[in-house]
């Protein structure tokens, strides 16, 4: 047996369906050999067909969760997901500055659930830009999120690069613009940082079982950074992990089904 390597604090919402949010964060960090901790920002009642209800956690309690974990256990990387209001964003940013300003920060700017339910108040977008983006070691927006942050529509890979450059202009150290929403047989993600632009390409897997891909990739990258990987290597390993999780998805649910987060722990057996 080996000890977990890399302490990752996930600050995000809970997914009762187990495919995204805090549940995906914990599964991913654990499957990649890290130690997962949490500060839950909201409870959601949802399944593969959509979000039916949200109960927000107060900003002070979110900050208390972060503070207690950081004071005692510490963290090698912090990953944020669903931060639904400006007040929550300000509390998370303030606690990060107070206790973990030197810790790498992976920001997944969660705005909309896979089924289309809004997970971020419109009034909070400016707070997200002003507070979280400028603190991010790496930001991981999908195309709709990148459009909201950059301020223009994205229709191709060149637009993805322009959006990434615009987001870097908001203060992020690096940004991974995920291209899964573009049509085509190839999925391209673009990583931009101070060292330039790097493209990652894979053939598209035609499946409805993609719930939680964004949360999972961000947590996989956070785990890599917590374990000392360079950003490009963390992205490469994270994308490979997500791809295998999609390929071996268990097929649960009637809608956007969950992936197989545990493929690194228990080999998939399609005879069962």
- What confidence tens digit (pLDDT) does each residue in 147-190 have? 989 999 999 999 999 999 999 999 999 999 999 888 888 999 99
Contacts of 65 (CB under 8 A, 6+ apart): 38, 39, 40
Sort 82 into a burial class: Cβ within 10 Å, 0-12 / 13-18 / 19+. Answer: buried
Distance, CA of 272 to CA of 263 (rounded, Å): 15
What confidence tens digit (pLDDT) does each residue in 236-247 have?
999 999 999 999
DSSP 8-state class, residue 38: E
The answer to whether residue 262 scores a pLDDT higher than 50 is: yes
The pLDDT assigned to 123 comes to 72
Order of strands across the sheet that contains 105-107: 50-56, 35-47, 7-15, 77-80, 105-107, 138-139, 174-178, 186-193, 196-203
The pLDDT assigned to 266 comes to 73
Distance, CA of 56 to CA of 63 (rounded, Å): 14
**Residue 259 phi/psi, 5° resolution?**
-90, 180
- Element of type H or E holding 181: none
Strand partners, 211: 258
Per DSSP, the three-state class of 209 is coil
The answer to whether residue 114 scores a pLDDT higher than 70 is: no
Distance, CA of 116 to CA of 190 (rounded, Å): 24
- What CATH number matches the domain at 7-138+209-264, 3.40.50.150, 1.10.3720.10, 3.40.1190.20, 3.30.450.20? 3.40.1190.20
Domain segments of the chain: what residues? 7-138+209-264
- What percent of the chain is predicted at pLDDT more than 90? 82
The pLDDT assigned to 272 comes to 46
Distance, CA of 119 to CA of 134 (rounded, Å): 21
Per DSSP, the three-state class of 91 is helix
Q: Mean pLDDT across the chain, nearest whole number?
A: 92
The answer to whether residue 113 scores a pLDDT higher than 60 is: no
**Residues tagged active-site:** 178, 210, 212-215
Grade residue 116 by pLDDT with cuts at 50, 70 and 90: low
Grade residue 136 by pLDDT with cuts at 50, 70 and 90: very high
The pLDDT assigned to 118 comes to 58
Q: Quick one: average pLDDT of 14-22? A: 96
Single pTM value for the model: 0.94
- Of 106 and 3, the one with more pLDDT: 106
Q: How many CB atoms lie within 10 A of CB 59?
A: 20
């Amino acid at each position: 047996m080996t000890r977990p390597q890399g302490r990752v604090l996930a600050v995000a919402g809970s997914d009762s369906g187990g495919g995204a949010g805090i549940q995906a964060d914990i599964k991913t960090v654990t499957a990649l050999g890290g130690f997962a901790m949490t500060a839950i920002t909201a409870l959601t009642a949802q399944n593969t067909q959509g979000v039916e209800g949200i109960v927000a956690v107060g900003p002070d309690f979110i900050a208390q969760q972060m503070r207690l974990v950081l004071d005692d256990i510490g963290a090698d990387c912090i990953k944020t997901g669903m931060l639904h209001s400006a007040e929550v964003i300000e509390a998370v940013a303030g606690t990060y500055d107070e206790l973990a300003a030197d810790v790498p920060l992976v920001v997944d700017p969660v705005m909309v659930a896979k089924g289309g339910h809004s997970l971020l108040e419109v009034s909070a977008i400016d707070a997200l830009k002003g507070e979280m983006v400028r603190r991010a070691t790496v930001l991981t927006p999908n195309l709709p999120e990148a459009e909201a942050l950059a301020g223009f529509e994205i229709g191709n890979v060149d637009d993805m690069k322009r959006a990434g450059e615009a987001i870097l202009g908001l203060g992020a150290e690096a940004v991974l613009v995920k291209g899964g929403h573009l049509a085509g047989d190839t999925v391209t993600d673009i990583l931009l940082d101070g060292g330039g632009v790097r493209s990652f390409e894979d053939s598209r897997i035609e499946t409805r079982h993609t719930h939680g891909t964004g949360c999972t990739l961000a947590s996989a990258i956070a785990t890599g950074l917590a374990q000392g990987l360079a950003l490009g290597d963390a992205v490469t390993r994270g994308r490979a992990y997500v791809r295998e999780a999609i390929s071996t998805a268990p097929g649960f649910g009637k809608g956007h089904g969950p992936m197989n987060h545990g493929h690194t722990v228990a080999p998939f057996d399609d005879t069962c």
